[in-house]
Structure 1
Amino acid sequence: MCDCSICTRKGARMVYAEQADFKLLKGEHSLGCYQFNTKVAEHYFCKTCGIYTHHKPRTLPGKYGINAGCLQSIDPFNLEITKVNGGSW
């Protein structure tokens, strides 16, 4: 769990994958992208319901952070949580 300002407010439990291993299967047309501060990171969300789905972090090039709550058959509340001091990045 990251403690930067945006992650703290989202409250999402994120899992990470290599960009080469990530494939969005459907719904790309329904996604919006939010960028703040340096405008390097890309934060994706559903334009219909507003849920945060995934992001391309500035500080972890080559990876995607994925909202575990958006993945089928994964209970995000049963994941082991590691806190990350993203607020200092």
Structure 2
Amino acid sequence: MAIQTYRGSCHCGAVRYEADLDLAAGSGRCNCSLCTKTRFWGVVVRPDAFRLLQGEDELGSYRFGTHAVEHLFCRHCGIRSFGRGELEVLGGRYVSVNLACLDEVAPETLAEVPIRYFNGRDNDWFSEPAVTRHL
């Protein structure tokens, strides 16, 4: 796979975006309390590789912990299709796109995306959690 433009949306369609992603470069799943409860499956991109097409006014925002990440969700259907933040360890400003919210991507394509697991629960981001099957 190479960089390709994908479109994504929330469940009700009020929030729509497109992002330039290289799915073969991998994705991440985290065991922090929020990602575990929502099963967020993210790919991190630079802000210039992400374009919000519709729904900025439909987004709600939630921050917790260090408040470095803006966890965004549709105010109508509640879906977290992407988030944004700024962390030096990730190279500064970034957008995290939820792969589960990409439109018209075959399940076979998603099944091939490499996944790296992060131990956000213990703020040990560079270590994989002991148990990952539930993520």
Does TM, scored on the shorter chain, surpass 0.5?
yes
In the other structure, the counterpart of 1:19 is 47
Tell me the percent identity: 34
Q: Residues of 1 paired with 2:65 and 2:40: CA distance?
A: 20
Alpha-carbon separation, structure 1, partners of 2:100 and 2:31: 18
The answer for the alignment partner of 1:84 in structure 2 is 118
Q: Which runs of 5+ in 2 are unaligned?
A: 1-28, 124-135
Among 21, 27, 40, the residue aligned to 2:68 = 40
- The corresponding residue for 1:49 is 77
**What is the CA-CA distance between 1:37 and the residue it aligns to?**
2.3
User: Which protein shows a greater Rg?
Assistant: 2
Higher strand share: 2
Could you list the runs of 5+ residues in structure 1 that have no partner in the other structure?
Answer: none
Say if 2:75 is the partner of 1:70.
no
Distance 1:58 1:4, change over 3 A: farther
TM normalised by structure 2 equals 0.58
Question: How far apart are the structure 2 equivalents of 1:49 and 1:87?
Answer: 26
- Count of aligned pairs: 89
TM-score normalised by structure 1 residue count = 0.82
Pairwise CA RMSD of aligned residues?
A: 1.9
